[in-house]
Amino acid sequence: MNTWELIKKLSNAHGISGFEDDIKDIIKAELEKYVDEIKIDNMGNVVCIKNGNNLKLMVAAHMDEIGFMVKFIDDKGFLRIAPIGGWFSQIVVGQRVIVHGKKKIYGVVGCKPPHLMKEDERKKAIEIKDMFIDVGASSKDEVLEMGIEVGNPITIDREVQVLYKSRVTGKAFDNRAGLAMMIEAVKNTKSDATIYAVGTVQEEVGLKGARTSAFAIEPHAAIATDVCVAADFPGAESSYMDVKLGKGPAITIADAAGRGLIASRNILDWLKNTAEDHKIPYQLEVAEGGTTDATAINLTKAGIPAGVISVPARYIHSPVEVIDLEDLENGSKLIAKALETAKKYFK
């Protein structure tokens, strides 16, 4: 399977935090022929183990996407929702969604129309608490008959499309792009270390799966895969970052202004030297907002050396994220080679 087919399969699948089952199935199907064991741990993480020597290396990619959950069904059949993960509320209204009840039910996100708003209301951003989902029902009883109930997860109804050349757009590239990198790296690495490729749960709501899986594995070193903010489109210039689409995967030096991960010198030498030795293009990221599974891994037990390799992405946490497949492919190569060279840096 080529990169395009893999990212399309992963992105088009659905799974908010805590409901990652469909993504787990894809990972197991993709890696079962390339690893010696696949297990699901108590937290729900998918742990794929490729046996090797005593050097234990972990590659973590979170499976969950941001979404919503049904929190209330009113008498007229409209669903009130709670956000799961970080949303910019202005993106949400007007989206078509899928409610994952007893079966998939399509709906649309609505709000009070501007025609009925007062002048001061039109000047304010609409908050998610003032939105609702219309599934076409006329009453609460009809909604219940459709198999919808409180607690059902909700995802955006959007599929991947090609833009131009290797640029593609879709939902949940955060972090299905990272998953694709991990999967392809495990398939292609010639590392003789013992590799733990972990599809982690609930990253978007607290880095939960990475923390528990790293505690159990206790690797000598770890790489988290994710996406990072590309700053090459209008309005992003003020970030003073030089991360761009098509210029290679990003290696994180620090994120969340240091409140998240500050990568160790050994981690940075490992990843940068590997990229340079194998002529893989890369970029460096110092970010003020957001963090990744690497932070939770780094703080596990007595501390686990951890780094991040990311795919630059535009419009993160929206249904129309944009990435360059060449960055994804180069990121996969970098991870595969880093797994091979790790023995020079970790014991």
Distances from the Cα of 297 to the Cαs of 111, 294, 307, in angstroms? 40, 5, 9
The set of residues, in sequence order, having a beta carbon less than 8 Å from that of 166 and lying 6+ positions away, is 246, 324, 325, 326
The catalytic residue among 65, 203, 204, 321 is 203
Residue entry with tokens 């159990």: 216
Rounded to two decimals, the pTM is 0.95
User: Which residues, listed in sequence order, are joined to residue 312 by a DSSP beta bridge?
Assistant: 228
Per-residue tokens: 56: 């234990």
Active site residue 203: yes
The b-or-e profile of 251-269 (16+ CB within 10 A means b, else e) is bbbbbeeeebbbbeeebee
Give DSSP secondary structure letters for 215-246: HHH--SEEEEEEEEE---STT-GGG-----TT
pLDDT of residue 155: 98
Domains in the chain, CATH or no CATH each: 3-65+171-344 (3.40.630.10), 67-156 (2.40.30.40)
Strand spans (E) along 135-184: 153-156, 161-164, 167-170
In this structure, are strands 161-164 and 167-170 parallel, antiparallel, or unpaired?
antiparallel
Per-residue tokens: 23: 């993504």
pLDDT of residue 123: 72
Other Cβ atoms within 10 Å of 202 Cβ, number:
25
Per-residue pLDDT of the chain (347 residues; tens, 9 = 90+): 589 999 999 999 999 999 999 999 999 999 999 999 999 999 999 999 999 999 999 999 999 999 999 999 999 999 999 999 999 999 999 999 999 999 999 999 998 776 666 777 677 888 999 999 999 999 999 999 999 999 999 999 999 999 999 999 999 999 999 999 999 999 999 999 999 999 999 999 999 999 999 999 999 999 999 999 999 999 887 778 889 999 999 999 999 999 999 999 999 999 999 999 999 999 999 999 899 999 999 999 999 999 999 999 999 999 999 999 999 999 999 999 999 999 999 98
* Backbone dihedral angles phi then psi of residue 22, each to the nearest 5 degrees: -65, -35
pLDDT of residue 116: 64
Distances from the Cα of 243 to the Cαs of 144, 249, 284, 321, in angstroms? 47, 9, 7, 15
pLDDT of residue 124: 80
Other Cβ atoms within 10 Å of 144 Cβ, number:
14
- Sign for the pseudo-dihedral over CA of 21, 27, 33, 34: negative
